[in-house]
């Protein structure tokens, strides 16, 4: 399946985004032909983490949240990492950016702890999704239905539990992002 002519926003938080959950989706999307743009708090170099504690690779943030326009993107990917997900959900610009994708009916992928940002954006009411098990209560309290499955797709929202699920997650990202727009699934009120 090809994502040629598609532009994907990939979020990153400084010293907190889980390396493999950032690198593997990026690689898979680029291999499928997508242009991937790294979005973060501000332009500059950012380092990922390995297992939330050890330093990972360094990546260049191409656009800060205040400069990024969702009209320039076809889809969004939010990598996990408990530290990174917590930093992202604490940033009002990141929350607005994510909510705007749901309001526009654009597909979104989130893995591991990334659904914390979806909880904060208040877009989970009535949706079925998965995450790292410790995020379950937050999802349920936000009106979502949590399931323990490798990958879940709910009208444009693709979620997975952990790094072991990355092959299935990446495959479903490509399939779902190729389908495009999901106007029938508006965000929660």
Secondary-structure breakdown of the chain: helix, strand, coil percentages, each rounded to the nearest 5: 35, 25, 40
| 145 has catalytic annotation | no
Mean predicted confidence (pLDDT) in 3-17: 94
Residues 156, 173: Cα–Cα separation, whole Å: 9
Cα-only R_g, the chain: 14
- 109 half-sphere exposure, CB direction, 13 A CA radius: 34
- Domains of the chain are 7-178 (3.40.50.880)
Q: What is the pTM of this model?
A: 0.94
Given the residues 31, 113, 145, 181, the one annotated as active site: 113
Percent of the chain surpassing pLDDT 90: 86
pLDDT at residue 89 greater than cutoff 70: yes
Q: What is the pLDDT of residue 21?
A: 97
Is residue 183 very low, low, confident or very high in pLDDT (cuts 50, 70, 90)? low
**Span 18-74, pLDDT tens digits:** 999 999 999 999 999 999 999 999 999 998 988 867 888 999 999 999 999 999 999
SS3 117: helix
Q: What is the pLDDT of residue 43?
A: 95
Write the CB contacts of 111 (distance below 8 Å, at least 6 apart in sequence): 21, 25, 78, 79, 80, 159, 160, 161, 162, 165, 166, 169
Mean predicted confidence (pLDDT) in 104-116: 97
pLDDT at residue 189 greater than cutoff 60: no
């Amino acid at each position: 399946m090809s994502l040629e002519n598609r532009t994907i926003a990939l979020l990153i938080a400084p010293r907190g985004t889980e390396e493999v959950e950032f690198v593997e989706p990026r690689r898979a999307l680029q291999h499928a032909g997508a242009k991937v743009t790294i979005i973060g708090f501000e332009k500059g170099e950012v380092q990922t983490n390995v297992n939330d504690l050890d330093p990972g690779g360094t990546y260049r943030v191409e656009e800060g949240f205040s400069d990024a326009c969702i009209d320039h993107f076809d889809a969004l990917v939010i990598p996990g990492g408990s530290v990174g997900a917590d930093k992202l959900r604490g940033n009002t610009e990141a929350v607005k950016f994510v909510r705007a994708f749901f309001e526009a009916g654009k597909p979104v992928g989130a893995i591991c702890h990334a659904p914390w940002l979806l909880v904060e954006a208040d877009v989970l009411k009535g949706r079925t999704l998965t995450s790292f098990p410790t995020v379950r209560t937050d999802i349920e309290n936000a009106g979502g239905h949590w399931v323990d499955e490798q990958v879940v797709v709910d009208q444009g929202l693709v979620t997975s539990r952990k790094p072991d699920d990355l092959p299935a997650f990446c495959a479903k990202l490509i399939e779902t992002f190729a389908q495009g727009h999901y106007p029938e699934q508006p965000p929660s009120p």
